């Protein structure tokens, strides 16, 4: 093989490699692209909004979390959970976060257990920060870790936040303690994770009444109603 032929072959191989890489990136973006399929809607989920982590997953949901739609169309009845919209009186959400869409609901089950679902959708980076910051600045003690939630297929990863605060404590009284178990994560319509395509923070908050594991089980059960499968 002549030197010119070798150079020509090298150029061809480099072009083929570049085309292959482009197709791979395109296919990776399409894998998480939004839209209805026979299985539902596809999204990309991760526990960090600012960087990719090893817990990033492509997930399927029967519900549309795209900002082009209406997040408030999330059903009020999910399994045996019945929900009601809670009016938002926190000015921080409207003024500081400026979300494009915001859903805040209280869901209850016949057994008396309850939890809150929060959906914050935006194309602005200022709309998102860790819920731990809100708890910390309000005087709650927090403990954060990651938590896997098994789905019908695969598992979706969430950040788990345990928050505690004592109210009405005095020199003669210990007051009462409130405790919340929070699972949250972020969704994008594709792997590109471009801010202009929209991001949705999904947060499930379960009040703890003596049994943390029971609250965790309820929160996980609720997440499983929102998503059916996940793959790396």
Res. 28 pLDDT band, cuts 50 70 90:
very low
User: Which of 198, 192, 196, 216 has its CA nearest to residue 206?
Assistant: 216
- Give the largest CA-CA distance in the chain: 94
Q: What percent of the chain has pLDDT over 90?
A: 63
Q: Above 70 in pLDDT, residue 27?
A: no
- The 10s digit of each residue's pLDDT in 74-115 is 999 999 999 999 987 766 666 777 899 999 999 999 999 999
Count of CB atoms situated within 10 Å of the CB of 66 = 19
Whether residue 191 contacts residue 28, with contact meaning beta carbons closer than 8 Å, is answered with: yes
Which range, of 59-73, 104-118, 155-169, 183-197, averages the lowest pLDDT? 155-169
pLDDT in tens, 112-144: 999 999 999 999 988 888 888 888 888 889 999
Question: Within 10 A of 106 (CB to CB), how many other CB atoms are there?
Answer: 15
- Predicted local distance difference test score (pLDDT) of residue 125: 85
Q: Which two tokens stand for residue 131?
A: 């819920």
| pLDDT, mean of residues 15-42 | 52
Residue ranges of domains in the chain: 32-231
pTM of the predicted model, to two decimals? Answer: 0.81
| Mean pLDDT score across all residues of the chain | 84
232/219 Cα distance (integer angstroms): 22
């Amino acid at each position: 093989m002549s030197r010119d032929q070798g150079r020509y072959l090298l150029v061809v191989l480099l072009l083929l490699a570049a085309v292959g890489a482009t197709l791979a990136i395109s296919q990776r973006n399409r894998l998480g692209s939004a839209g209805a399929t026979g299985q539902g809607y596809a999204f990309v989920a991760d526990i960090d909004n600012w960087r990719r982590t090893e817990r990033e997953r492509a997930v399927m949901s029967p519900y549309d979390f795209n900002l082009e739609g209406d997040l408030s169309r999330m059903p009020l009845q999910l399994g045996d959970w019945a929900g009601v919209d809670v009016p938002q009186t926190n000015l921080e959400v409207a003024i500081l976060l400026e979300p494009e869409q915001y859903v805040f609901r209280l869901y209850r089950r016949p057994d008396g257990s309850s939890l809150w679902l929060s959906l914050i959708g935006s194309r602005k980076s200022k709309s998102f920060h860790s819920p731990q910051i809100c708890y910390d600045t309000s005087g709650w003690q927090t403990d954060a870790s990651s938590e896997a939630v098994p789905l019908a297929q695969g598992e979706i990863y969430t950040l788990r936040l345990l928050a505690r605060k004592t109210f009405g404590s005095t020199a003669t009284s210990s007051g009462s303690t409130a405790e919340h178990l929070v699972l949250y994560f972020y969704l994008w319509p594709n792997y590109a994770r471009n801010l202009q395509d929209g991001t949705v923070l999904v947060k499930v908050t379960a009040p703890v009444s003596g049994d943390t594991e029971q609250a965790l089980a309820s929160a996980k059960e609720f997440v499983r109603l929102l998503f059916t499968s996940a793959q790396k």
